[in-house]
């Protein structure tokens, strides 16, 4: 049996010798490469935190001590050490989540994969421990150098103090990268610390001497390291980035040196005030294919050959939504030199890399700082440029106020391109891009589009970048785009009619990528003698008038969107119909207001009733006048609604 198999919970680490711990680290690395190669996942980040995570679990006592992982994509080692070693269905339905998940283990605290929140979590938890007399409980936050570029981390650092967060330890996992090398002043500071020759020479020589002279010298060495920090500050001509915060600094430490990390964490644990332990690590550590991957050091991989790191499946050849955007963005920018691009540390994942290669001076990577990205875009627009802010849909949530008050209020011509909109799948609840339509549609004068295929994405991007007095949004799903879906005709206000039966029983309003599914529903209805019209509004907000007119001409209207149903586009259409005095029955179909689990996109759509068969069945019943039994809303379990009604009665 391997040492790893003998670890069922963190305290099993206590009996291992220094040599055995090194062996364990090697076994964990081999496990990660072997297992994550099969399933896909965040291989690079987890290879980079093996020793750090072992050291954290040696020194601290989870779950009594709370361990918070920022973003959480680097928590596989934590899972291995806390009784979860079946990675065979990682990020798949019924398998381990790719992020911490409280339902999996009491060792897991933060489930959200939205970066830069860990220090705020840790500040709150440590205050609560102090205020409830649990002063023997510690909080450890593991935050990456990329996550440190997010504004929330600085809000938290500004608040953390030794009055109320005595037991807080912040482990900065500094591998110099987000996906790509981390940008900005913070990164430059960390880089000087990480690469200063003097640090390495001094660190290595004093360590060797301490080892030779034994424990007392080691204490001296540790003290010197404190002084080392001051030494570094002078050498790097920076006043220490942390000196004026109420936080002590330990480091930089070699994050792959188990003993050094353990010692530093023990010091931090005993310090009695908030401490930053700055660990220097390497993303993809110990795996050559990751280390030589210049794009993102295997930040997230699909199924790969563990020997070579090469993808197991050849690319399908079908264009991805991201790829279509990437090419059209370059085309538009060639015609209009006011167009600039902004990314929040995700240049390649959002497809802006081609634009960046072509127009390097017209693209800005602001770090994991979506709020700053949006408001700086408002500034760029004020200055006469047309910013295109490319984000994953789920991450625009974080910048809602900036979209509303900095872009919307000032009628700034900013275009938001939201990739991974709708159900994404393996990254679970905090990664589904399911809220953008509902939250953004309340921004006055905003224009929301949801292209149904590549041609419409190209068209709608071209239209969006010409709007200079209001925010425009284009949102599309993860993955490959299907074949173009031609329109029979386009109404005067831009609605595409995709199918038009003579018998006008059902109007199906398809939002974006739901067009293909909607046409399948229409075919099932036709087989039951029910006529339908399928339309794609293209620009869903404001609701085009022809949607109102078409609704008035049909018996029922059904709207289908890959976004939360509550407050979604269907709700908006219903409201506009009522305002126009059209009382056609409306059925709004979309995602439930639930946090949807990790599974494949199709598994989730099946579970929430968004398949052609399930939709057609309901519509057939409606058209035939059969009263559909009042089913409790998907989003609320009986106990929730009963409780709610009892409370409000």
Ligand X SMILES: CC(=O)[C@@H](O)[C@H](O)COP(=O)(O)O
Ligand Y SMILES: Cc1ncc(C[n+]2csc(CCOP(=O)(O)OP(=O)(O)O)c2C)c(N)n1
CA distance 173 to 80: 19
- Interacting partner of 147 out of Mg ion, ligand X, ligand Y, none (Cβ under 5 to 8 A depending on kind): ligand Y
Size of the site for ligand X (CB under 6 A): 9
Q: How far is the CB of 251 from ligand Y (least distance, A)?
A: 16
Contact 178, 368 (CB under 8 A): yes
Contact 185, 369 (CB under 8 A): no
Closest CA to 342 of 405, 261, 396: 396
3-state secondary structure of 573: helix
Order of strands across the sheet with 539-541?
363-365, 339-343, 386-392, 415-419, 472-475, 447-449, 539-541
506 binds ligand Y (CB under 6 A): no
Considering only residues 57, 73, 386, 447, which one is a binding residue for ligand X as defined by CB under 6 A? 73
Q: Is 173 annotated as a binding residue?
A: no
402 binds ligand Y (CB under 6 A): no
Q: Is 88 annotated as a binding residue?
A: no
**Which helix (H) or strand (E) segment is 144 a member of?**
strand 139-144
447 binds ligand X (CB under 6 A): no
472 binds ligand X (CB under 6 A): no
- Taking the least distance from each CB to ligand Y, the nearer of 98 and 592 is 98
Q: Which residue is nearest to ligand X (CB)?
A: 73
Q: How far is the CB of 108 from ligand Y (least distance, A)?
A: 17
10 binds ligand X (CB under 6 A): no
Q: How far is the CB of 111 from ligand X (least distance, A)?
A: 13
Q: Which residues are catalytic?
A: 283, 370, 398
Order of strands across the sheet with 532-536?
489-490, 496-500, 532-536, 506-510, 556-564, 585-591
Residue 388 backbone dihedrals phi, psi, to 5 degrees: -115, 110
- Taking the least distance from each CB to ligand Y, the nearer of 115 and 232 is 115
Region of 101-109, 175-183, 241-249, 598-606 interacting with ligand Y (CB under 6 A): 175-183
Region of 120-128, 360-368, 419-427, 616-624 interacting with ligand X (CB under 6 A): 419-427
CA distance 177 to 193: 15
- Taking the least distance from each CB to ligand X, the nearer of 266 and 480 is 480
DSSP secondary structure letter of residue 629:
P
- Taking the least distance from each CB to ligand Y, the nearer of 74 and 559 is 74
Considering only residues 300, 380, 396, 540, which one is a binding residue for ligand X as defined by CB under 6 A? 300
Residue 496 Cα distances to 23, 460, 473, 538, 644, angstroms: 62, 13, 18, 7, 41
3-state secondary structure of 401: helix
Furthest-apart CA atoms within the chain: distance in Å:
93
The string over 103-131, giving b where at least 16 C-beta atoms fall within 10 Å of a residue's C-beta and e elsewhere, is ebbebbbbbbbbbbbbbbbbbebbbebbe
Contact 602, 545 (CB under 8 A): no
DSSP secondary structure letter of residue 310:
-
495 binds ligand Y (CB under 6 A): no
Q: What is the rounded (10 degree) CA torsion for 92, 565, 594, 348? A: 50
Contact 368, 116 (CB under 8 A): yes
- Interacting partner of 45 out of ligand Y, ligand X, Mg ion, none (Cβ under 5 to 8 A depending on kind): ligand Y
Q: Which of residues 342-381 bind ligand X (CB under 6 A)?
A: 349
- Interacting partner of 322 out of ligand Y, Mg ion, ligand X, none (Cβ under 5 to 8 A depending on kind): none
Q: Is 114 annotated as a binding residue?
A: yes
Q: How far is the CB of 287 from Mg ion (least distance, A)?
A: 16
> First CA to last CA across the chain, in angstroms?
61
Considering only residues 254, 427, 496, 536, which one is a binding residue for ligand X as defined by CB under 6 A? 427
432 binds ligand Y (CB under 6 A): no
297 binds Mg ion (CB under 5 A): no
113 binds ligand X (CB under 6 A): yes
CA distance 396 to 409: 17
107 binds ligand X (CB under 6 A): no
- Taking the least distance from each CB to ligand Y, the nearer of 345 and 511 is 345
Q: Is 115 annotated as a binding residue?
A: yes
Considering only residues 57, 225, 278, 398, which one is a binding residue for ligand Y as defined by CB under 6 A? 398
CA distance 95 to 40: 13
Query: By rule CB under 5 A, what string of x and - marks binding of each residue 119-158 to Mg ion?
Result: -------------------------xxx------------
Q: What is the SS3 string spanning 33-87? A: HHHHHHHCECHHHHHCCHHHHHHHHHHCCCCCCEEEECCCCCCHHHHHHCCCCCC
- Taking the least distance from each CB to ligand X, the nearer of 105 and 113 is 113
Region of 377-385, 420-428, 436-444, 549-557 interacting with ligand X (CB under 6 A): 420-428
Residue 505 backbone dihedrals phi, psi, to 5 degrees: -80, -50
Note the residues at the interface with ligand Y (CB under 6 A).
Answer: 45, 48, 71, 73-74, 113-115, 144-147, 173, 175, 177-179, 182, 283, 299, 344-346, 368, 370, 395, 398
Q: Binding site for thiamine diphosphate: residue ranges?
A: 73, 113-115, 146-147, 175, 287, 370
Q: Binding site: residue ranges?
A: 73, 113-115, 145-147, 175, 287, 370
Note the residues at the interface with ligand X (CB under 6 A).
Answer: 71, 73, 113, 300, 349, 420, 424, 427, 478
Q: Binding site for Mg(2+): residue ranges?
A: 145, 175
Note the residues at the interface with Mg ion (CB under 5 A).
Answer: 144-146, 175, 177
């Amino acid at each position: 049996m391997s040492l790893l198999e003998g670890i069922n919970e963190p305290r099993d680490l206590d009996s291992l010798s220094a040599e055995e711990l090194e062996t364990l680290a090697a076994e964990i690395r081999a496990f990660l490469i072997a297992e994550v190669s099969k399933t896909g996942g965040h291989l690079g980040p987890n290879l980079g935190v093996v020793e750090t995570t072992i050291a954290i679990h040696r020194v601290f006592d989870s779950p009594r001590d709370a361990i918070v992982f920022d973003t959480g994509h680097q928590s596989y080692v934590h899972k291995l050490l806390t009784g979860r070693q079946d990675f065979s269905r990682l990020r798949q339905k019924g398998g381990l989540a790719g992020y911490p998940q409280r339902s999996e283990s009491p060792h897991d605290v933060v489930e959200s994969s939205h970066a830069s929140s860990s220090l705020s979590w840790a500040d709150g938890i440590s205050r609560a421990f102090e205020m409830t007399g649990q002063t023997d409980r510690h909080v450890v936050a593991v935050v990456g150098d990329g996550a440190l570029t997010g504004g929330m981390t600085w809000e938290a650092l500004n608040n953390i103090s030794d009055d109320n967060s005595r037991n807080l330890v912040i482990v900065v996992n500094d591998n110099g990268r987000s996906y790509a090398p981390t940008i900005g002043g913070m990164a430059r500071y960390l880089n000087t610390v990480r690469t200063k020759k003097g640090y390495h020479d001094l660190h290595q020589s004093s360590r060797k001497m301490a080892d030779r002279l034994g424990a007392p010298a080691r204490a001296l060495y540790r003290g010197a390291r404190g002084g080392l920090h001051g030494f570094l500050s002078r050498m790097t001509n920076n006043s220490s980035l942390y000196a004026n915060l109420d936080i002590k600094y330990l480091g930089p430490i070699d994050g792959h040196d188990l003993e050094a990390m353990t010692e530093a964490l023990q010091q931090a644990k005993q310090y009695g005030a908030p401490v930053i332990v700055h660990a220097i690590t390497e993303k993809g550590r110990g795996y050559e294919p990751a280390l030589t991957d210049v794009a993102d050091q295997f930040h997230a991989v699909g199924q790969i050959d563990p020997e070579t790191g090469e993808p197991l499946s050849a690319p399908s050849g079908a264009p991805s939504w991201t790829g279509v955007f990437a090419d059209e963005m370059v085309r538009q920018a060639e015609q209009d030199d006011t167009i600039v691009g902004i990314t929040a540390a995700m240049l390649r994942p959002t497809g802006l890399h081609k634009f960046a290669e072509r127009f390097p001076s017209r693209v800005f990577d602001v770090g994991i700082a979506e709020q700053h990205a949006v408001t700086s875009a408002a500034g760029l627009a004020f200055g006469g440029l047309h910013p295109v802010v490319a984000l994953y849909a789920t991450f625009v949530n974080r910048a809602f106020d900036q979209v509303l008050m900095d872009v919307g209020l000032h009628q700034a011509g900013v275009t938001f391109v939201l990739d991974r909109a709708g159900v994404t799948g393996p990254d679970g609840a905090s990664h589904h891009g399911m809220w953008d339509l509902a939250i953004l549609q309340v921004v006055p004068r905003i224009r929301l589009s949801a292209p149904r295929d590549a041609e419409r994405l190209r068209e709608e991007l071209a239209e969006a970048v010409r709007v200079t007095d209001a925010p425009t949004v284009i949102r599309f799903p993860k993955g490959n785009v299907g074949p173009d879906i031609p329109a029979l005709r386009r109404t005067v206000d831009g609605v595409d009619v995709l199918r038009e039966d003579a018998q006008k029983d059902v109007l199906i309003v398809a939002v974006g990528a739901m067009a293909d599914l909607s046409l399948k529903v229409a075919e099932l209805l036709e087989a039951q003698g029910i006529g339908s019209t399928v339309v794609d509004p293209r620009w869903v907000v404001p609701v085009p008038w022809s949607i109102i007119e078409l609704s008035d001409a049909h018996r029922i209207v059904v709207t289908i969107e890959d976004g939360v149903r509550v407050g979604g586009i269907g709700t908006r259409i219903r409201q506009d119909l009522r305002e126009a005095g059209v009382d056609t029955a409306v059925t709004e179909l979309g995602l439930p207001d639930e946090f949807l689990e990790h599974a494949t996109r199709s598994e989730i759509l099946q579970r929430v009733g968004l398949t052609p068969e399930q939709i057609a069945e309901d519509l057939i019943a409606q058209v035939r006048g059969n009263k559909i039994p009042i089913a409790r809303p998907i989003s609320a379990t009986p106990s929730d609604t009963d409780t709610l009604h009892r409370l409000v009665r």
